[in-house]
Amino acid sequence: MSIENHTLGFPRIGLYRELKKAQENYWSGKNPREDLLAVGRELRNRHWQQQKNAGIDILPVGDFAWYDHVLTTSLMLGNVPSRHQNKDGSVDIDTLFRMGRGCAPTGESASACEMTKWFNTNYHYIVPEFNKYQKFKLSWTQLLDETKEALSLGHTVKPILLGPISYLWLGKVKGKPFDRLSLLKEILPIYKQVLSEIKKYDIEWVQIDEPVLSLELLTSWREAFEFTYDFLKSDIKILLTTYFDSINQNLDVIKGLCVQGLHVDIVHGKDDIYRINEQLPQEWLLSVGIINGRNIWRSDLKKCFERLYPLTKLRTKLWISSSCSLLHSPIDVNIENNLEHEVKNWFSFALQKCTELKLLKEALNNNDLNVILDWSKPIQTRVHSPIVHNEKVNQRLRDIKSSDTNRTNSYSKRSELQRKRFGLPIWPTTTIGSFPQTTEIRSFRRDFKEGKINYQTYCTGIAKQIKQVILEQEQLGLDVLVHGEPERNDMVEYFGEHLDGIIFTQHGWVQSYGSRCVKPPIIIGDISRPKAITVEWIKYAQSITCKPVKGMLTGPLTMLFWSFPREDINYETIAKQIALALRDEIADLEKAGIGIIQIDEPALREGLPLHESDWPTYLTWAVNTFRLVAGIAQDSTQIHTHMCYCEFNDIISSIAALDADVITIETARSHMDLLDAFTEFEYPNAIGPGVYDIHSPNVPSIQCIENLLRKAAKSIYKERLWVNPDCGLKTRNWIETRQALSNMVQAARNLRKETI
């Protein structure tokens, strides 16, 4: 038997974020559509060739997306909401952009589709919308076109489809409730049609992703798999692909399906691969996801070899692969020139992971460890590196007391003190933190980082920006102000740069959604805070206004889950190290006179294990970690937190257990539907439901905001409601921002008049 290797997908944005730049140039009207399409074509061709050159046998097709691969699937199925449709019923790339952004260079603007997290990752997808009587048809042939494109270049390829059951599971019903699984019989003929078209290209394998098989599914969803894959049976071989967690709970379903192969993630899933091998039909291909697609650490290939080699004697058809798509990894560590040599050798980005698959394949095929020993040495020696370990940090963890996680008094008593301290009106208005990150601000920070301006010039410039933001907010009439964060590149990166134990890359970009890319910090060792991080700029902002200014912190869970974490200690330990650092920051902010402090935790929900049975353990330590940060705050200090783009219903009791005085949440794209969770649970503290979608350039009207707030007031006592956008404003321009906030403030004032 000869083992082959493949990847489940490759990053689509380009080494220098070429896709992002092409998208934004097209959206702004700077470049024509043809230029955008040309950039996409160049990136696909480059990425296929790079993987091939790195030693990948079977290349993925269908992993490229203009915005998001779930949205691509919606277009393929003709699932386009009426508000986004072209007048002639056609589907084009602007249809896709209107669904994702709410607007495009052509067509009428309309509210964008909802966006939420892709399972337990920091990647966002556009949520499919379903209604009971909608029809589907093959409307977008991107996968077929790109398959033909790859074949014309001489590549051996494996087209990728998001599976029909996972697609339905990821969507939402709009309008009259019904079981969206009932739409399965409507979309399966389109999947069948696509497979038939692919077969015309003489393709042997198609990868159909069904990541929901990593969940603990209801019986109806489990039972749908047999019908689905019986229907999709054809001459083309199907590699049923799972990832992100174990599948043992669904193995009894999987092994009876009419497919020819199974991919299993044995990095994040804790299944016994040998037990799975015994359960599967012997004629099936088994693909083993052994190289971590979601983290940047170099693999210990010797351990991988020892884990897999006995399997080569038991299965006649065996592939090795990344655990999941490499979408979640940066592209190439070799262009990182600012990393210490020792540290750089610890890392493996997408192209290096392809090399790992090549080396491991050679070792397994030849039963020869020599080809992988040198590769594994850096990660083995890291275990004893002084860069990694800090005993003072670990001693402080051991000294944590249960009382450290509690505020002195309950919310009801704290809120009385806070009302007296701040004297805010009913329907108080605020924003989530950041204001537009203009080209001027970005260039200014870059000039300082590159040594083109000195520290004094930098401080003078940042102070000028903060003063402008404060004056803008005062003129708009906001009640609680923010300093606008001109000194911050990213809400996680900024804090990571000021903590020991965390490092950064120059080009380690990862797509978050659409054209939005992030450069996650890398947690390489024990974390501590050498000095105060935010105090001076917040104190300055407060000195130039009589209105309260919020101190802005990124919470420990978000710092953890939006970074590339260590793999030698558990997540709870890392999170609590960060929590202790932020706890000290809150103490310093209070000493500086700051009375309102926001601890952003948008990642609380995405940290949930995919198996619901594992939730209680996670939620217990996650809640305690947040409370460890906030527990030091005085009763008169108002603690806010912010969450966005997730389903709250399942964890509402844990959100309440955070005991934040005010929680601000994203509700605009769902038209306040997400607020239902806080209603049914009778959430006890104050809430700021986002009244407009900052990820769309569309400016909400006063009437629209009023309507949303009235809807919110039916669920939450108006005395506990705040008025705010659904997220930070860094991605918007000032024209949009001023108009939207002006409308928001006026809507709040109108409602106050109604209340009097």
- Could you list the active site residues? 695
Q: SS3 for 732?
A: coil
**CB burial readout 321-355, b (16+ within 10 A) else e:** bbbbbbbbbbbbbeebeebeeebbbbbbbbbbbbb
Q: What is the C-alpha to C-alpha distance for residues 19 and 42, in angstroms, rounded to an integer? A: 10
Q: What is the C-alpha to C-alpha distance for residues 612 and 647, in angstroms, rounded to an integer? A: 14
Residues contacting 747, CB < 8 A, separation 6+: 691, 702, 705, 706, 709, 723
Q: How far is CA 248 from CA 162, 214, 269, in A?
A: 21, 8, 9
Q: What is the C-alpha to C-alpha distance for residues 344 and 391, in angstroms, rounded to an integer? A: 24
Number of alpha helices (DSSP H) and beta strands (DSSP E) in the chain: 27, 21
Residue for token digits 């269908």? 62
Alpha helices in 562-680 (DSSP H): 571-591, 615-630, 652-657, 676-680
Tokens representing 215 are: 């969940």
Q: For residue 481, give the nearest of 665, 640, 644, 700 by alpha carbon.
A: 640
Q: How far is CA 219 from CA 132, 211, 250, in A?
A: 21, 16, 10
Q: Which DSSP string do the residues of 561-574 spell out, in sequence order? A: HTSB--SSS-HHHH
Q: What is the C-alpha to C-alpha distance for residues 633 and 594, in angstroms, rounded to an integer? A: 11
Report the 10 Å Cβ neighbour count for 716.
18
Q: What is the C-alpha to C-alpha distance for residues 502 and 497, in angstroms, rounded to an integer? A: 7
From first CA to last CA, the distance across the chain in angstroms is 80
Strand spans (E) along 606-735:
638-643, 662-665, 686-689
Q: For residue 136, give the nearest of 76, 78, 95 by alpha carbon.
A: 78
Q: What is the C-alpha to C-alpha distance for residues 449 and 364, in angstroms, rounded to an integer? A: 46
Report the 10 Å Cβ neighbour count for 401.
8
